[in-house]
Amino acid sequence: MKQIGELFQTADWKTEKHVPIIDCADQVKAGEFFAVKVTLGKEVAHPNTTDHHIRWISIYFHPEGDKFPYQIGHIEFAAHGESAQGPDTSSIYTHHEGTISMKTEKPGAMYAIALCNIHGLWQSSKDVRVA
């Protein structure tokens, strides 16, 4: 049996459409809120159809020196063009991006995990410094 960490895939988001992109400041002020935007398909567009879509993105922050990461947010994408008339017949589609706001007193690592309904789990990370 595989360990959970072995199920996550990663790559360069500039060439792989499934990798979540974490967009936030490299350095933030201690105790002040800052925006964290996560998205997919910045360079290579990911489909958003009934048959092939991103279901969710979860964001975690692991403060330096702490034992565990904290879940900062979870964004679900529920509309992929399906309707009572069949797949890809609706005009309603959600886009796989979201923004959350957080604050921290410690530097650490931001992690994003995305689930593609066909290609599984994808991850990325970014270090955040605190001034």
Q: 6 or 70: whose pLDDT is higher?
A: 70
Q: What is the pLDDT of residue 77?
A: 96
Using alpha carbons, select from 22, 106, 112, 19 the residue that is nearest to residue 67: 106
Using alpha carbons, select from 76, 72, 57, 67 the residue that is nearest to residue 124: 57
How do beta strands 120-130 and 27-28 pair? parallel
* pLDDT tens-digit readout, 29-51: 999 999 999 999 888 889 999 99
Task: Indicate which CATH number applies to the domain containing 74.
Answer: 2.60.40.730
Residue 16 has pLDDT above 90, yes or no: no
Number of folded domains in the chain? 1
Using alpha carbons, select from 56, 72, 55 the residue that is nearest to residue 111: 72
pTM of the model: 0.91
Domain carrying residue 10: 4-130
* pLDDT tens-digit readout, 81-109: 999 999 999 999 999 999 999 999 999 99
Cα 42 vs. chain centroid, distance in angstroms?
A: 12
Q: What is the pLDDT of residue 101?
A: 98
Active centre residues (catalytic): 16-18, 46, 52, 116, 119
Residue 53 has pLDDT above 90, yes or no: yes
